A and B are shown apart, each in its own frame.
Chain A
């Protein structure tokens, strides 16, 4: 008994364990009391909104009293979550009330950020940008936004850069999380975003998670899976991952693979599907073509890296011959799993009676072959015809609340225009120019800098100024020290709009205080193509202003006021209605603004007031011709067919060796959102996970004589970091691998990570680099 108790306490970090030992098992009331101020129920109004955090897109009812948010409820009428939230969603009201909210514009003078008026700050930005553009051209300025931008904010920024200033230098942090998903969709289906939707959670027989710890990252969707298992016979959950997580603990089958070998595993499953007669020939003949692209495509670790794929058609037989490299024995060795496991997976995908939903997010996307890995998962569904069927679909989960709605649909990326259009396509530029009422030549055909290259260009001096909104790149860019130094330099002019001080505001020249969540009106678009609206409910603190207002005010001062004049309509509505024009008739159609005010979101395409739960499927998707059954109509260049890609296994950019013997993988924890800017200011969430730690496998810990709570130094070729070790916590990495979450600004794990990226999507690989672990003292 005594041992149990000791182990119990040993589980909390050493720094805090000492404090616990003398107190009761229960948290002392006095400590809690301090956070508790209460207001009575009378006069509280409830309005519908969307959770501020993850891409699940849960509906909330926000309780407001006296111009303050006092509570939220899960919205029982919202089909996404039907009244349930996760701990972050429930504590969202508290993110508004951290004591150090930014409430006044700040300008750096003599090295110090000092309060200034809005006029001063906005005039300064407009003047500096005009100067820079005059001297160095429009490509010397850049915008770096976010998948947490509202749709209107993203659209305003896109219009400022591409239509007014005339540069494609606009990117968003979704490049760091969803770019591989986008390129996976574009290369396989010719259009971004899923065919399936959340309805599949109640219809599937097996859920296969590929490198996705949804128990922590998409908790409400995870509940829908576990509830499906509780309520229906034979429902199973499979977890394929290198690290044992809460998802693995709940899964019926956990397949622990070596890092990066998912490429081989997917091809290995495809090999078995083909050779065991598990494929759906009729589906393949009607709906699929086969292709291969370049191989040995590099990692982008050098400045100015360029890559262009060369797709070529191959026959089915050629594809089968390609799979010969992925015979079960070889795959088993590469992945470190038993052959029987691969067979089990092949059977799940292959059995015509089993409805399968594959789910993935950062494990697959933050991958130096992320686009390939997306392609390979689609292959499994296309080979077996388990796609575009309610209950059987691949579902690419999105991380941020509007990575889909804003970044991917609006197209706030260096190569894109709204609704799947590309700056390199003259037709697309023409359409955009028409809607914007500008000459076609104004929109440059040259692709801008993608995120990593954008910050490299800042370092090289090609970009002079970046305006950063709703994101914190000084904490999230891989190999961050180079880019932090670049932002600090006096010859770079960094503008940051945010709600709290961050690592990035630290290095900014101008800081603009922003309105947060329900302090402004907005629309978010989630994983399942659902566009959801909320109205402003409370005033922002002090002089804080919505990001969209900031963009338009700078535009006005640069002489582009007329581009944002919507004839007296509220700005948000005017922007959305204009953006909507891009979507109509494209299969990505959005509803009129007014409609979103009333409904609990709608899944696009919305045609004649009807949403589309399943894309490409007759009877659901109005764009599918009668009698076609299924049509990948957006992939015109392949005759409305989807593509099965021959994509090989290629090694990662960096692998453990003698000097750096461990894999380092990074990620989130349930309680914290991204860099912790908001959630670390919520006492309940802060106390749940106060600091970043280094998770080790128990055998590695024993070998290194490291125990939970010990101080360790983790060193990579790029930097080093000291933090506490954790063994046997909520996750257990496999042997030879450590995990560090990235939320903690006092322990910047991205000083260690490598800025290698997928050559096709340009998304960095935060999941794999080599480190060594030393015990300190």
Chain B
């Protein structure tokens, strides 16, 4: 394509061309996921797999698929709203827009480094015990860079993380809270023991 209406459009409103690029790339990306899934079978992506994409808990996940050929805008095509196709989940971006996705998330080529690395990374946190059965679960992980709960816990999140009550998803933090790590309450609370006793 020579400089033509695209450039004209860009001059009038750069955001319009950006939108256009996003739309164009959505089409390409959907097509690719379709082709890709055709080859890779219909396995559900598990939580374990997700953790494996990080060097340690808190590290940005690497990108488990090729991206470079797509150019700019491709990430947002699938990861802006989130996308599920034949069991493969492209989660929505859980954190605010920072300009360049690939400044933290990088593609991995199937090659092995010449030198081994003996780093031992922090594990993902375990689930936290509920106050009583049926009580809202506590948030076991950091919420920084994860402010958009629905990215993972909404209907287009990973299967085992999806909320069972998607209708009340607007204010997650009104029921689910993040206990400050390492902080113990100054006064012992006997509720849990009492609850056990009544059963």
Interface residues of A (CB under 8 A from B): 1-2, 4-5, 7-13, 16, 19-20, 23-29, 31-33, 35-41, 44, 63, 65, 68, 70-73, 76, 83-87, 90-91, 93-94, 96-100, 215-216, 219-220, 222-223, 225-227, 230, 246, 249-250, 252, 670-671, 680-688, 690, 728-730
When the two chains form their complex, are residues B113 and A25 in contact, meaning their CB atoms are under 8 A apart?
Answer: no
Which 9 A-B residue pairings sit nearest by Cβ, starting from the closest? A226-B99, A24-B40, A11-B69, A25-B36, A219-B103, A688-B106, A38-B123, A686-B113, A71-B122
- Tell me the minimal C-beta distance from B156 to chain A in angstroms: 18
- Tell me the minimal C-beta distance from A698 to chain B in angstroms: 13
Chain B residues lying within 8 Å of A29, measured Cβ to Cβ, are 48-49, 52
When the two chains form their complex, are residues B72 and A27 in contact, meaning their CB atoms are under 8 A apart?
Answer: no
B109 is an interface residue with CB less than 8 A from chain A: yes
- Tell me the minimal C-beta distance from A234 to chain B in angstroms: 11
- Tell me the minimal C-beta distance from B34 to chain A in angstroms: 7
Taking A86-B104, A226-B100 as known contacts, 14 extra A-B pairs with beta carbons closer than 8 A to each other, sorted by chain A number, are: A4-B31, A20-B66, A24-B41, A25-B65, A40-B123, A41-B181, A99-B117, A215-B100, A670-B102, A670-B106, A682-B117, A684-B55, A685-B106, A688-B106
C-alpha spacing A35/B28, complex, angstroms: 32
Chain A residues lying within 8 Å of B194, measured Cβ to Cβ, are none
- Tell me the minimal C-beta distance from A100 to chain B in angstroms: 5
When the two chains form their complex, are residues B68 and A1 in contact, meaning their CB atoms are under 8 A apart?
Answer: no
C-alpha spacing A226/B9, complex, angstroms: 21
Chain A residues lying within 8 Å of B122, measured Cβ to Cβ, are 38-41, 44, 63, 65, 70-71
When the two chains form their complex, are residues B113 and A680 in contact, meaning their CB atoms are under 8 A apart?
Answer: yes
Taking each of B97, B103, B114, which has the highest tally of chain A beta carbons within 10 Å of its own beta carbon? B103
- Tell me the minimal C-beta distance from B91 to chain A in angstroms: 14
C-alpha spacing A356/B80, complex, angstroms: 31
When the two chains form their complex, are residues A252 and B14 in contact, meaning their CB atoms are under 8 A apart?
Answer: yes
When the two chains form their complex, are residues B65 and A70 in contact, meaning their CB atoms are under 8 A apart?
Answer: no
Given the contacts A24-B39, A87-B60, A39 and B123 also touching, CB distance less than 8 Å: yes
Q: List 5 A-B contacts (CB under 8 A).
A: A85-B104, A225-B99, A226-B97, A682-B117, A686-B113
User: Which of A10, A27, A83 meets B144, CB within 8 Å?
Assistant: A83
B130 is an interface residue with CB less than 8 A from chain A: no
C-alpha spacing A357/B109, complex, angstroms: 37
Chain B residues lying within 8 Å of A63, measured Cβ to Cβ, are 58, 122
When the two chains form their complex, are residues B115 and A100 in contact, meaning their CB atoms are under 8 A apart?
Answer: yes
B91-116 interface with A by 8 A CB criterion? 96-100, 102-116
- Tell me the minimal C-beta distance from A268 to chain B in angstroms: 21
B121 is an interface residue with CB less than 8 A from chain A: yes
Chain B residues lying within 8 Å of A98, measured Cβ to Cβ, are 115-117
- Tell me the minimal C-beta distance from B184 to chain A in angstroms: 13
When the two chains form their complex, are residues A94 and B97 in contact, meaning their CB atoms are under 8 A apart?
Answer: no
Chain B residues lying within 8 Å of A4, measured Cβ to Cβ, are 28, 31-32, 35
B16 is an interface residue with CB less than 8 A from chain A: no
B159-183 interface with A by 8 A CB criterion? 181
- Tell me the minimal C-beta distance from A45 to chain B in angstroms: 10
C-alpha spacing A25/B36, complex, angstroms: 6
B62 is an interface residue with CB less than 8 A from chain A: yes
C-alpha spacing A99/B114, complex, angstroms: 10
C-alpha spacing A220/B60, complex, angstroms: 14
Chain B residues lying within 8 Å of A7, measured Cβ to Cβ, are 69
When the two chains form their complex, are residues A32 and B52 in contact, meaning their CB atoms are under 8 A apart?
Answer: yes
- Tell me the minimal C-beta distance from A399 to chain B in angstroms: 17
C-alpha spacing A76/B109, complex, angstroms: 32
C-alpha spacing A447/B160, complex, angstroms: 68
- Tell me the minimal C-beta distance from B80 to chain A in angstroms: 13
Chain A residues lying within 8 Å of B120, measured Cβ to Cβ, are 37-39, 68, 70
When the two chains form their complex, are residues B58 and A73 in contact, meaning their CB atoms are under 8 A apart?
Answer: yes
Chain A residues lying within 8 Å of B57, measured Cβ to Cβ, are 41, 71
- Tell me the minimal C-beta distance from B124 to chain A in angstroms: 8
When the two chains form their complex, are residues A31 and B110 in contact, meaning their CB atoms are under 8 A apart?
Answer: yes
Taking each of A35, A215, A728, which has the highest tally of chain B beta carbons within 10 Å of its own beta carbon? A35
Chain B residues lying within 8 Å of A8, measured Cβ to Cβ, are 32, 66, 69-70
Chain A residues lying within 8 Å of B98, measured Cβ to Cβ, are 84, 223, 226-227
Number of chain B residues close to chain A: CB under 8 A: 65
C-alpha spacing A40/B123, complex, angstroms: 5
Given the contacts A680-B113, A688-B107, A26 and B65 also touching, CB distance less than 8 Å: yes
Q: Would you give the 0/1 interface string for B6-45, flagging 1 where the beta carbon is closer than 8 Å to chain A? A: 0000000010000000000000100111111101110001
Given the contacts A25-B66, A687-B108, A1 and B117 also touching, CB distance less than 8 Å: no
- Tell me the minimal C-beta distance from B36 to chain A in angstroms: 4
User: Which of B41, B59, B115 meets A681, CB within 8 Å?
Assistant: B115
C-alpha spacing A579/B76, complex, angstroms: 49
When the two chains form their complex, are residues A83 and B115 in contact, meaning their CB atoms are under 8 A apart?
Answer: no
When the two chains form their complex, are residues B108 and A90 in contact, meaning their CB atoms are under 8 A apart?
Answer: no
Chain B residues lying within 8 Å of A230, measured Cβ to Cβ, are 97, 99
When the two chains form their complex, are residues A670 and B103 in contact, meaning their CB atoms are under 8 A apart?
Answer: yes
Chain B residues lying within 8 Å of A97, measured Cβ to Cβ, are 117-119
B145 is an interface residue with CB less than 8 A from chain A: yes
When the two chains form their complex, are residues A671 and B106 in contact, meaning their CB atoms are under 8 A apart?
Answer: yes
C-alpha spacing A87/B54, complex, angstroms: 11
When the two chains form their complex, are residues A86 and B117 in contact, meaning their CB atoms are under 8 A apart?
Answer: no
Chain A residues lying within 8 Å of B131, measured Cβ to Cβ, are none
When the two chains form their complex, are residues A690 and B111 in contact, meaning their CB atoms are under 8 A apart?
Answer: yes
Chain A residues lying within 8 Å of B181, measured Cβ to Cβ, are 41
C-alpha spacing A678/B119, complex, angstroms: 13
Given the contacts A40-B123, A70-B121, A246 and B102 also touching, CB distance less than 8 Å: yes
C-alpha spacing A685/B70, complex, angstroms: 20
- Tell me the minimal C-beta distance from A445 to chain B in angstroms: 47
Nearest-neighbor residue (CB-CB) of A729 within chain B: B68
C-alpha spacing A32/B49, complex, angstroms: 9
Nearest-neighbor residue (CB-CB) of A253 within chain B: B14
Nearest-neighbor residue (CB-CB) of A218 within chain B: B103
B133 is an interface residue with CB less than 8 A from chain A: no
C-alpha spacing A85/B116, complex, angstroms: 24
C-alpha spacing A688/B119, complex, angstroms: 18
C-alpha spacing A547/B166, complex, angstroms: 57
User: Which of A39, A71, A83, A99 meets B118, CB within 8 Å?
Assistant: A99
B71 is an interface residue with CB less than 8 A from chain A: yes
Taking each of A28, A222, A223, A729, which has the highest tally of chain B beta carbons within 10 Å of its own beta carbon? A223
User: Which of A36, A681, A729 meets B121, CB within 8 Å?
Assistant: A36
Nearest-neighbor residue (CB-CB) of A5 within chain B: B35
B84 is an interface residue with CB less than 8 A from chain A: no
B186 is an interface residue with CB less than 8 A from chain A: no
- Tell me the minimal C-beta distance from B138 to chain A in angstroms: 14
- Tell me the minimal C-beta distance from A21 to chain B in angstroms: 10
Chain B residues lying within 8 Å of A246, measured Cβ to Cβ, are 72, 100, 102
Given the contacts A2-B35, A39-B123, A26 and B64 also touching, CB distance less than 8 Å: yes
C-alpha spacing A681/B72, complex, angstroms: 28
